[in-house]
Structure 1
Amino acid sequence: MQKENWNDAIKDITLPDEEVRQAALARWNQLAKPLHGMGKLEETIARIAAIQGTIHPLIDKKGIVILCADNGIVKEGVSQTGDEVTAVVAGNFLSGQTSVCKMAKAAGADVLPYDIGIRTDVKGLTRTPYKISCGTNNFLREPAMTRKETIQAIHIGMQIVKERKQEGYEILATGEMGIGNTTTSSAVACSLTGEPVEVMTGRGAGLSDKGLTRKKAVIREGLDKWRPDPSDVVDVLSKVGGLDLAGLAGVFLGCAKYQIPAVLDGFISSVAALAAARIHPAVRNYLFASHCSKEPAHARILKELGMEAPLCLEMALGEGTGACALFPLLDMAMAVYEEMSSFDDIQIAQYEEFTT
């Protein structure tokens, strides 16, 4: 990073407890089932145990942190709808009338929306100190944000996690709402990975062929104009990113700092996770992929993070819906892990592990 000293903010980030992870894996092997019969869910629960520092982790209190913000780049015709939709959907989070609200109710999770930068205030949602500005700039005309605003958004994301940790949340999923944020995410992804615009840009919420062509041209022009420095995450986010992306990067940093498992949603939150991991590599150890979305670059970003999504459902909703879809699987895995009899309990010999 340049100019800013991040040591005070992230100096407490450490790796999860590897001894606890190994002990949790050993516990899985003692349960009266075929070895590794629960597949990747066994490693997932073991990682959660390591993060919480106990062989008996808890994921009963679940939250979905949703950061809402508008993007000035919408003025360039990169989305099918106008940015007035952001405020409408954000308001619907409060009334429970969104896809993620319905899914969260079924999954036993709380929806936790924040206005971090919607163009207009939303009654019941807009609060200080979370809102930084009324949207970002059009990054074809000027940088999306100042460095100060970007850093403020990152710190607010971390503060949100601290507050939710104090309230007893044991696992957090991530979501976002902001018209135009697949454009900002693609721009940030191109800068951080070096991949071409054509690889990293999809149709978002349903662009036509003409709209997609325009979107790619806008991203290419913005990157050519501002030349964001991939070694400086704040530079990238401030020039072509968004307040939701910067805030989500802070959420992932906060989850690492306060030792809370963080479940990624789709392409947008995964790009934010990559930004966080570039700020502090240990963040990767606190991240859990949920699904691989229809956005073509999502799989590429997950690969960059060294992650593989357990669900491939061709979802394209955002809001944290894909992350929420993972929660019931985790609950089922925890039920097996905590409640199933061991080989000793039923007095039969344990399976032997054979390697090839």
Structure 2
Amino acid sequence: MSEERLTACIEKIGELDAAGMASAEQRLNSLTKPPGSLGRLESIAVQAAGITGEIGADFSKRAVIVMAGDHGVCEEGVSAFPAEVTPQMVLNFLAGGAAVNVLARGARADVFCVDMGVNADLMHEGLIVCKTRNGTANMTREAAMSRADAEAAIQGGFDLVAGLAADGYRMFATGDMGIGNTTASAALCAVLGGLPADEAVGLGTGIDEARRRHKVDVVKRAIALNRPDASDPIDALAKVGGLEIAGLVGVILGAAANRCLVVVDGFISSAAALVATAIAPKAAAFMLGSHLSHEQGHAGLLRRIGLTPLIHLEMRLGEGTGAVLAFHLVDAALGVMREMATFESAGVSRE
């Protein structure tokens, strides 16, 4: 994505529809319940009206976009799983056998799996291939990728969402797959979110405390070597990020530019959301935080973005699993708007 195109994309991201939000609030206050008694469901309904300009918008066409990429930093022994798991899991997604596939079926959502930088030449009719390189470099020795690679990955995510939005999709969940990507996300969290590395780095997919301490050192070394510019989010993304994270930045920016709701998953997706908001602050209004991950840096990362998670189930799988669960809450909020009786229609006294 060239600087000129990125600027044009950012300029497409508008404000929430104030009139739509006011109408939604008026509708909520007319329903047979005490004002505000449905809590976050009401704020979801208002946000949806601000995004679409409609009360009780139809979000029935929805997608989970799972971005996959490998990480050279795995050479440093930061993960409990080998890098070979990334392509293996991509094939599992495409076969419909992963957790996100099961949860997406329950939420009536379509799953799109994207090869943003898997270190394998995968062939499958359902796979969307959008990579410029086979994984990132080891960021403790050099930059994870070039700025051009990061920009191309952002563009890939943006263009994918723009195409799906043109086909009628109005709600997206961010998903990820990439062994080693909690290390890259922690580095971005430290650079752009201002968290100390020891707070940003957690146990990932199941490492012990000794390996976590090693992972903290890896993040510190990567940042010291590459010196990412905290005032330039794409520079930080290129130097210590990941290709699937960059793709998710594009997904988030694309959803905002096309006035769609984007439900942000866990730690990796939130790192992408942090980059996206640093690039385009207005994009935050189109995001919904789905859940609080069990990854220790996630709470601080969400605070930095300004997102409040809807659920806390101690999940740390990624894939978009938490985000797709939140689809049910969005459905509940919009169902209330469309189906609940008003005081007038039900003949219920307000006092």
Q: Gapped runs of 5+ residues in structure 2?
A: none
Q: Do the aligned residues in 1 keep the contact of 2:20 with 2:50 (CA within 8 Å)? A: yes
What's the CA shift string for 1:221-273, capped at 9, x where partnerless? 11111110000011101111000111111111111111100000001101100
Q: Secondary structure at the match of 2:176?
A: strand
Shift, 1:291, TM fit: 0.3
Q: Which residue number in structure 2 is paired with residue 354 of structure 1?
A: none
Q: Which residue number in structure 1 is paired with residue 271 of structure 2?
A: 271
Q: Which residue number in structure 1 is paired with residue 106 of structure 2?
A: 106
State how 1:240-251 maps to structure 2 within 5 Å.
240-251=240-251
Q: Secondary structure at the match of 2:3?
A: coil
Q: Which residue number in structure 2 is paired with residue 227 of structure 1?
A: 227
Structure 2: how far apart are the matches of 1:127 and 1:161?
12
Q: Which residue number in structure 2 is paired with residue 294 of structure 1?
A: 294
> What amino acid does structure 2 have at the position aligned with 1:187?
A
Shift, 1:307, TM fit: 1.6
> What amino acid does structure 2 have at the position aligned with 1:4?
E
Structure 1: how far apart are the matches of 2:283 and 2:350?
36
Q: Which residue number in structure 1 is paired with residue 57 of structure 2?
A: 57
Higher mean displacement: 181-190 or 41-50: 41-50
> What amino acid does structure 2 have at the position aligned with 1:213?
R
Shift, 1:349, TM fit: 3.0
Size of the aligned set, in residue pairs, is: 348
Q: Which residue number in structure 1 is paired with residue 115 of structure 2?
A: 115
> What amino acid does structure 1 have at the position aligned with 2:348?
I
Asked if residue 322 in structure 1 is aligned to residue 322 in structure 2, the reply is yes
Asked if residue 207 in structure 1 is aligned to residue 207 in structure 2, the reply is yes
State how 1:71-86 maps to structure 2 within 5 Å.
71-86=71-86
Q: Do the aligned residues in 1 keep the contact of 2:71 with 2:178 (CA within 8 Å)? A: yes
Shift, 1:56, TM fit: 3.4
What's the CA shift string for 1:280-332, capped at 9, x where partnerless? 11001000001001001111011111121110110011000000111112212
State how 1:1-356 maps to structure 2 within 5 Å.
4-5=3-4, 6-124=6-124, 125-128=126-129, 130-350=130-350
Shift, 1:161, TM fit: 0.7
Structure 1: how far apart are the matches of 2:46 and 2:127?
38
> What amino acid does structure 2 have at the position aligned with 1:28?
L
Q: Secondary structure at the match of 1:11?
A: helix
Structure 2: how far apart are the matches of 1:233 and 1:168?
31
What's the CA shift string for 1:92-126, capped at 9, x where partnerless? 11111101111111111111110010000222155
Instruction: Supply the RMSD in Å over aligned alpha carbons.
Output: 1.3
Q: Do the aligned residues in 1 keep the contact of 2:172 with 2:263 (CA within 8 Å)? A: yes
Q: Do the aligned residues in 1 keep the contact of 2:55 with 2:337 (CA within 8 Å)? A: no
Q: Secondary structure at the match of 2:175?
A: strand
Q: Do the aligned residues in 2 keep the contact of 1:91 with 1:123 (CA within 8 Å)? A: no
Higher mean displacement: 316-325 or 52-61: 52-61
Q: Secondary structure at the match of 2:159?
A: helix
Q: Do the aligned residues in 2 keep the contact of 1:191 with 1:236 (CA within 8 Å)? A: yes
Q: Do the aligned residues in 2 keep the contact of 1:30 with 1:350 (CA within 8 Å)? A: no
Q: Gapped runs of 5+ residues in structure 1?
A: 352-356
Percentage of pairs with the same residue: 39
Higher mean displacement: 317-326 or 208-217: 208-217
Structure 1: how far apart are the matches of 2:144 and 2:158?
21
Shift, 1:79, TM fit: 0.5
TM-score by length of 1: 0.95
Shift, 1:127, TM fit: 4.5
Structure 1: how far apart are the matches of 2:323 and 2:245?
16
TM-score by length of 2: 0.96
Structure 2: how far apart are the matches of 1:257 and 1:154?
13
What's the CA shift string for 1:54-106, capped at 9, x where partnerless? 12311111110110000100011000111110001111111111011111111
Higher mean displacement: 249-258 or 117-126: 117-126
